[in-house]
Chains A and B, each alone.
Chain A
Amino acid sequence: MALNKYRASRKITFNSWTVYLIVIVLVIAIPLLSIFFGLFKGPGQAWGHIQKNLLPDYVANSLVLVLGTGLLTTLLGVSTAWFVSTCDFTGRKFFEWALILPLAIPSYIIAYTYAGIFDYAGPVQIIFRQWFPDEVFAFDIMNIYGVIILLSFVLYPYVFATVRASFINQSRSMIESGRILGSTPWQVFYKLALPLARPAIFAGVSLVVMEVLNDYGAVKYFGVPTFTTGIFRAWFSLEDIQSAIFLSALLMGFVLFLLGLEQIQRGQRKYEQISNSFRAPARFQLKGIKRIATFIICLIPLLFGFIIPVLQLGFWANKTFEEVLGQEFWQMIVNSFSVAAVAAFLCVLVALILVYAVKLTRSYFSDVAARVANMGYAIPGAVIAVGVMIPILALDRYLTNFLERVTGNSTGLIISGTLLILIFAYLVRFLVVAFNPAEEGFKKIGWQLTEAGRTLGFSPFRCLVKINVPLMKAALVSGALLVFVDVLKELPLTLILRPFNFHTLATRAFELASDEMVAESANAALIIVLTGIIPIIILSKLISGNSFYESIAD
């Protein structure tokens, strides 16, 4: 029965959950809004210069990047997801989880690594020199096409993961009836599975696009000016923070537009079937050349997105680990892991409350509010840092003045110098990463169990704790893991907002790399990558859909 009509209403019912919703959204939206209002203040004095000399490049490059990575990640992600979910070939089980691994490699690290692979001291040129001692090595990876290819190889797992989940959920009977009606595997894919997976593709690609738009390290190193590098140029080189904020606001506008598109896509998802039988459809048995071709198609992204860079990092780390590894290095690992764990916990908690509050209040207002709170993901970290510092510093000043009046002693800033501000910034930035799985989790459970709980005398809060949380464990864990990996990789926010003497693996890797000590930075980079693997493997297992909420989805 269509329960949709019970969901949304224009009216807001006021209760404690509405209050939570508003408080959370306000707190998280303040940094974002402080940026967004830049749009109305207009640009600063350097705008004429930017508009004339830089903006066309920024727009063109950003568009080419977005389109290029969008297309390439779709190609890589959808093809591998299809083969892995519906075909039988050598190594399929391995590819099921391995294809997500490139997600563990931060984009700035892949850029440095591939530049290293292809430069004079890298293996490609060494081999080239041996074979053609008299030729000049002309292949150049450090351009916009290189950025597109490299970013696609580390970002396609977003598409792979969402689309694969969709393929798995597509009803078995649909695919089977397609086959009985005489469709070839290609026709089943093209006519049935692909249109049904379209919202999933869009969701995956929109994540890719946001990552691309807020990438700073890779494009800067490769000399490709984009909106994000432009923000920094306006801000620091041209000393016009107003124009920087204006550029950020424009970028945010673009992202809002994208999110809107995704919403429309989601709206059309009504026809997507959720399978009732959880047995996977019989797989297409591949033979001979097709089997080999499929294997190779799945191997390519893994090879370029993970195996090769990790080998190169390993090679460098092997040369340098003796000087880098030490007491300090272990402290850095502890720092990275603990801050990531705390941020992950907080993001999941807030996401859970937010999703639940949206469901409870059932209004368009709350839906929109939640979307606003989720926008931080698309905004360059450094911009968020400023957005976070503005309100926190104001609060800090108020607090210290207050304390001074009460105690008579002058104190330093209370919040700004602590990890609190950093963790708050992570929350603003990565909330959506925990929000999406939580939302999906709620969708899977359905709302009736909560209603059942309430008619049995449980308050909404107790229902959340007793019914939803236990059933959503998998979704919550996967949200937490994603945030964990993201925080581990995060750079600009951490650089700006961290307290004294606080180093993480990412800041270390970046410092060494920006010091042009790429080989030394490989140690920290390798640990980021390798620790990223563990949650990613767990995640992949969750996507494949094991026993847990299968039994209840019906």
Chain B
Amino acid sequence: MKALQIEHLSKTYFKRDGPVVSDISLQVEAGKTLALLGESGSGKTTLLRLIAGLEHPDKGAILIGNQVVADTRTFVKPENRKVGLVFQNLALFPHLSIFDNVSFGLRGISRQEKAAKVEEVLTLVNLCGMENRFPHQLSGGQQQRVALARALAPKPEVILLDEPFSNLDSVLKNQVREEIKKILKQASATTIFVTHDTTDALLAADKIALMHHGRILQTGNPVEIYTNPSDENVARFFGKINTLHLHKTESGWHSEAGEHLNLPDKWTEDQLKIIFRPENVNLVKQSECGLAARLVASDYMGDHCLLTVSAGTPKFQPHLLFIKAPANHNYRAGNLVFFQIDFHKAKIILPSSG
């Protein structure tokens, strides 16, 4: 079942700035988590606000459950949408206790029912016993969970989270992310969260929608979107990529990085542009017929090193490639390194034009 459907949604604030959200269509299955991934200014927060009813769309429709909440004729106010929203800065009510914060959205029920519900949600977020505290007495992670509990308490059809992890330091972030993921699964809530961090998206989402300039570039599950990006922009978003232009000559395949390449047989085009990730390049010994390149820099990342090498034959301009290497390699800048590209994992972007 689809918990949320968006059809051809558009929103423009100022004509001169162009549309912030442009013709977006999207579905989320009930109980699943969707990450809206994009850099700042890509329109993802606006999309979230449109879903919550905090903005009026110019065009298109939004359906929550099977009910139309916004289209050209209808506009359901945010208070009537059954949507939970966790703001980037949480927006906890500073003058209310945790209990009052969480029970804020619970109305029309008796005090006992209210208390029971609050307890249930607080148990879910592991904050039992904090009812009488105030937001400023809690740690950042706890505040995050209160905000989540507050949004979950009225049992909304969809939970929206705006940059839920952006205010946390990296250690706390991993922990909170896991917790929140668990909580949302336990509550089997349909969730959309906005993030600019690919790790967050990959780790916490069932599905990722990548946004850029108000449009969705690609939607897919984390594996799909990481391994099979629809274009270079998408790929680039998930980390460093290498590009190569290939062309077939009588003597074999040529590229900026070298010649006599060992390509999969299924590649039949004469001209190709491919992309591949640093981990798809393996360092080899000279004897293993690798390509040669000179090491430019080695960035120590703890569990591995990211090498930047300058490859190329005298015929071509130097061409930089990234290689993921073991942390304990002992190359120095200026050394020659040899490598092989795992072309089976590379992706053809388009037939190369030149």
Which A positions have Cβ atoms within 8 angstroms of B? 1, 5-6, 9, 11, 13, 446, 448-449, 451-459, 466-467, 470-471, 549, 551-552, 554
Contact = CB atoms under 8 A, between A and B. Distances in A.
Contacts of B94: 471, 549, 551-552
A13 B79 contact: no
Contacts of A454: 53-54, 77-79
B238 interface: no
A452 B85 contact: yes
A1 B78 contact: no
Interface string B232-259: 0000000000000000000000000000
B105 A456 contact: yes
Given A452-B93, A467-B93, 9 more contacts: A13-B56, A449-B93, A454-B53, A454-B78, A455-B85, A456-B84, A456-B104, A457-B107, A552-B95
B285 interface: no
Contacts of B54: 6, 451, 454-455
Contacts of B77: 454, 459
Given A1-B40, A448-B89, A552-B94, A455 B81 contact: yes
A457 B93 CA distance: 15
B91 interface: yes
A457 B105 contact: yes
**Size band of the interface chain B makes with A:** 35 or more
* B81, B95, B150 — most chain A CB neighbours (10 Å): B95
Interface string B145-179: 00000110010000010000000000000000000
Contacts, number: 78
A245 B49 CA distance: 49
Interface in B2-56: 13-14, 20, 40, 45-46, 49, 52-56
A545 to B, nearest CB: 15
B339 interface: no
Contact of B85 (A451, A470, A549): A451
* A470, A552, A554 — most chain B CB neighbours (10 Å): A552
Contacts of A466: 104
A458 to B, nearest CB: 6
B83 interface: yes
A455 B93 contact: no
B228 to A, nearest CB: 31
Nearest to A7: B13
B80 A5 contact: no
Contacts of B55: 6
B136 interface: yes
A470 B85 CA distance: 22
B88 interface: yes
Contacts of B40: 1
B194 to A, nearest CB: 11
14 contacts: A1-B40, A6-B49, A451-B85, A452-B87, A452-B93, A453-B93, A454-B77, A455-B54, A456-B151, A456-B154, A458-B105, A467-B93, A471-B94, A554-B89
B95 A470 contact: yes
A455 B56 contact: no
A448 B80 contact: no
Given A1-B45, A455-B84, A449 B13 contact: no
Given A6-B49, A6-B55, A471-B94, A457 B13 contact: no
Interface in B172-230: none
Contacts of A457: 79-80, 105, 107, 154
Nearest to B83: A455
Contacts of B87: 448, 451-452
Nearest to A551: B136
* B40, B104, B154, B160 — most chain A CB neighbours (10 Å): B104
Nearest to B88: A1
* B54, B55, B154 — most chain A CB neighbours (10 Å): B54
A5 B84 CA distance: 23
B116 to A, nearest CB: 18
Contacts of A6: 13, 46, 49, 54-55
A455 B104 CA distance: 11
Given A13-B56, A449-B91, A449-B93, A455 B78 contact: yes
Nearest to A449: B91
Interface in B102-138: 104-105, 107, 136
Contacts of A470: 95
Contacts of B14: 5
A554 B20 CA distance: 27
Contacts of A5: 13-14, 20
A452 B14 CA distance: 25
Contacts of A459: 77, 79
A467 B92 CA distance: 10
A552 to B, nearest CB: 4
Contact of A455 (B20, B52, B136): B52
